[in-house]
Chains A and B, each alone.
Chain A
Amino acid sequence: MNKDFDRRSFMRLAGLAGVVFASGLGGSARAEEADDFFFVQLSDSHWGFEGEANPDAHGTLSKAVAAVNALPQAPDFIMFTGDLTHTTDDPHERRERMRTFRDLVSPLKAGALRFIPGEHDAALDRGRAFQEFFGPTHYSFDHKGVHFIALDNVSDPGASLGAEQLAWLADDLSRQPAQARIVVFAHRPLFDLAPQWDWATRDGARAVALLQQHENVTVFYGHIHQEHHQMTGAIAHHAATSLIFPLPAPGSQPRRTPLPWDAAQPYRGLGWREVALSRTADQAPVLQQRPVQGGQA
């Protein structure tokens, strides 16, 4: 596909976002606005993983970095939604993996790089090493009229946000009007996607209840290594593909084992996404999925 055409189509779609995911928000077609922007979501690179599920475990992340840098326009920011590294019991090795990961992604061209942990990064030391390299595990920020909230549902190995973070979330949301455009990042799904595979957040329903008091909320998460789109009330939840190996559809087989590497279609199921946002409050984000392809690094 012609890249320029693809780019124009993507940005134009930002004005038509309600068609796809707004779910009754009443989006209408509008011309691209000056404050429209896009960010990139990368997820689940599992740096340090070794296994048959990805014979190019050392090269896949760099291919994604090269692909993002090849975009005709740099994103306003890039968000990594967790599992930057693959878990290890060795605290020294954990830090080595984080250091190498940080070096690998540092060439990314974007207005800012932002991170939240996955359970592989943070659950064995409650986020200590992650914070040394990447800062707080939950935070919020504002960008061009959109309020972004990054949640941590992994530093507790039991997959809870916890009362303290929920209180922080409630306080943060209380400062936002009901119509505010809010985008939430988390690693695990905030709803019970597949509890039999531990694809859930134990107290995620409490976070969703708080978020539901606002009209324009979209959640982007990782963890399940595949695209998945689901609504809870008016909130759209979008799962991201991985940069190491894909996992089967939720609950589709007894065990959540990685899908095997397909030599005929290398990197199948791996990728990243662009998310276009309009400053207009009644338009939902527009998602553009990008595959990992060989030969880009």
Chain B
Amino acid sequence: MNGTPLQRRQWLGGAALVLGLGSSAWALGAARPRVIRVVARKFEFVPREIRVRRGETVELQLSAPEVPMGIHVIGLELRADIVPGQVTRLRLTPEQEGRFDFLCDVFCGSGHEDMSGVLVVEGP
């Protein structure tokens, strides 16, 4: 995919929107989102495959026990840094079914190029 700078800005804007809507829904008393913990370690995401349902709000809680990492979900306009000692929370409500690859986009060592996974969005 050849994203333009404008598309990239739209991705980031989209990510912020998803996060904002998620927080508002929770504040209004909606069901607490399902939490999925993901560990970013050299040089893999655990779990490597994340399965969610379309329309379901989930919160990814990402940690990196060794070195700084990043996650970039291609096609869902989500990216975040994962800093050791902190939990990065990414809330999303995917509206489109499909398989969305994600990768580490913070260089972390000799296996960095192989560090990827897939977010599978299934029908409700």
Contact = CB atoms under 8 A, between A and B. Distances in A.
Interface string B24-62: 000000000000000000000000000000000000000
B4 A192 contact: yes
B35 to A, nearest CB: 26
A195 B5 contact: no
B95 interface: no
19 contacts: A89-B109, A124-B107, A124-B109, A154-B107, A158-B106, A159-B106, A192-B3, A193-B2, A195-B3, A195-B74, A196-B74, A198-B104, A198-B113, A202-B105, A205-B8, A208-B5, A255-B116, A256-B113, A257-B114
A86 interface: yes
Contacts, number: 64
A87 B110 contact: yes
B100 to A, nearest CB: 10
A143 B4 CA distance: 33
Contact of B81 (A86, A158, A195): A158
Interface in A187-214: 191-198, 200, 202, 204-205, 208
B22 interface: no
A157 B107 contact: yes
Interface residues of B, number: 25
User: A interface, how many residues as a size bin?
Assistant: 20 to 34
Interface of B: 1-5, 7-8, 68, 70, 72, 74, 81, 101, 103-110, 112-114, 116
Interface of A: 86-89, 119, 123-124, 154, 157-159, 191-198, 200, 202, 204-205, 208, 250-251, 254-257
Chain A interface SS verdict (over half): loop
A194 B2 contact: yes
A192 B2 contact: yes
Given A158-B70, A158-B81, A196 B107 contact: no
Contacts of A157: 68, 106-108
B72 A195 contact: yes
B107 A192 contact: no
Contacts of A192: 2-5, 7-8
Nearest to B5: A205
A189 B90 CA distance: 28
Given A157-B108, A158-B106, A159-B107, A196 B101 contact: yes
